């Protein structure tokens, strides 16, 4: 199947046949983005997600077909969110990326800027903010070259959940998120940080995401209720890579 491109307001939506095609497209996006950023700014700073959807992307980036096309010395990896668990924990977003990618690609240790999930949430968020301020410059909003996001069925993205106070944050770069069970507490980047990125790419697969995608992409009123619908880059680009199943409820679904 050819990729179908649908323009939805300022978002570009690319419908791919399945999650494998989507992961390859995301890997190409990462490789090309890294080349452009290294050429223009001397480095490539990417903030990556947890969740199950991007794991295949990380695995592909660790294979020679993609790995050998990236100048890893100049790649800096950050996370959009983290669960408050040790880094070896199976729920750790760092661990997912480590197993799939970091253990296979020559990223210098100093270029890996993880969120310390082993700390209490407030401290982990403050420490992470310091790490970003040091990297991007203390007085300005970080501008990631690429931010990779997913969407939950409830419309959350990163660890920004519907109705959460963290959605109103305008000063902090990262905040703690307290959920019902302690090992589900998290730290997340805030909306202003996401929205200042040069390039934002959502990865969404499966029928279970079809309703939320149609609300976010096609209903101007409803989208504001969902954190993922509040992701609107100030100047950068916003692309949705979705598979055919996730696109099922979109009006112009000619996929």
Judged by the rule CB under 6 A, the positions of this chain that interact with ligand 6PG are 49-53, 80-81, 93, 150-152, 156-158
Least spacing, CB of residue 146 vs ligand 6PG, in Å: 15
| Residue least distant from ligand 6PG (Cβ) | 150
Nearer to ligand 6PG, 76 or 156 (CB): 156
Least spacing, CB of residue 15 vs ligand 6PG, in Å: 17
Least spacing, CB of residue 115 vs ligand 6PG, in Å: 10
How many CB atoms within 10 Å of residue 172?
15
Nearer to ligand 6PG, 38 or 179 (CB): 179
Nearer to ligand 6PG, 13 or 57 (CB): 57
Least spacing, CB of residue 248 vs ligand 6PG, in Å: 16
Least spacing, CB of residue 227 vs ligand 6PG, in Å: 9
Sheet (strand 146-149) strand order: 4-8, 11-16, 237-243, 199-204, 146-149, 44-48, 75-79, 112-113
Q: Taken in order 96, 101, 106, 112, is the CA torsion positive or negative? A: negative
Nearer to ligand 6PG, 56 or 76 (CB): 56
Residue 123 tokens read as 């401290």
Question: What stretches of the chain show up as alpha helix (H) in DSSP?
Answer: 19-41, 55-61, 64-67, 93-97, 121-136, 191-195, 210-218
Least spacing, CB of residue 48 vs ligand 6PG, in Å: 9
Nearer to ligand 6PG, 113 or 252 (CB): 113
> With helix as H, strand as E and coil as C, how does 185-242 read?
CEEEECHHHHHCCCEEEEEECCHHHHHHHHHHHHCCCHHHHCHHHHCCCCCCEEEEEE
Nearer to ligand 6PG, 71 or 118 (CB): 118
Q: Please give the Cα distance from 181 to 234 (Å, whole number).
A: 35
């Amino acid at each position: 199947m050819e990729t179908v491109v649908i323009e939805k307001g300022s978002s570009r939506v690319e419908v791919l046949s399945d999650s494998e095609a989507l992961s390859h497209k995301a890997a190409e996006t990462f490789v090309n983005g890294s080349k452009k950023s290294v050429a223009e700014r001397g480095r490539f700073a990417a903030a990556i997600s947890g969740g199950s959807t991007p794991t295949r992307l990380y695995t592909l980036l660790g294979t020679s077909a993609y790995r050998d096309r990236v100048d890893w010395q100049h790649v800096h990896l950050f996370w959009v969110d983290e669960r408050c668990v040790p880094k070896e924990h199976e729920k750790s977003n760092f661990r997912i990326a480590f197993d799939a990618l970091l253990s296979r690609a020559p990223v210098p240790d100093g270029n890996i800027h993880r969120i310390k999930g082993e700390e209490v949430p407030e401290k982990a968020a403050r420490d992470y903010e310091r790490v970003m301020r040091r990297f991007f410059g203390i007085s300005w909003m970080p501008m990631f070259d690429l931010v990779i996001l997913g969407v939950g069925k409830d419309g959350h993205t990163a660890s920004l959940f519907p109705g959460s106070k963290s959605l109103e944050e305008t000063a902090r770069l990262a905040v703690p998120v307290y959920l019902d069970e302690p090992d589900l507490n998290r730290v997340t980047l805030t909306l202003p940080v996401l929205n200042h990125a040069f390039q934002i790419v959502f990865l969404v697969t499966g029928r279970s995401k079809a309703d939320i995608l149609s609300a976010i992409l096609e209903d101007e009123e409803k989208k504001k209720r969902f954190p993922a619908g509040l992701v609107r880059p100030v100047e950068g680009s916003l692309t949705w890579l979705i598979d055919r199943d996730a696109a099922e409820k979109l009006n112009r679904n000619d996929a």
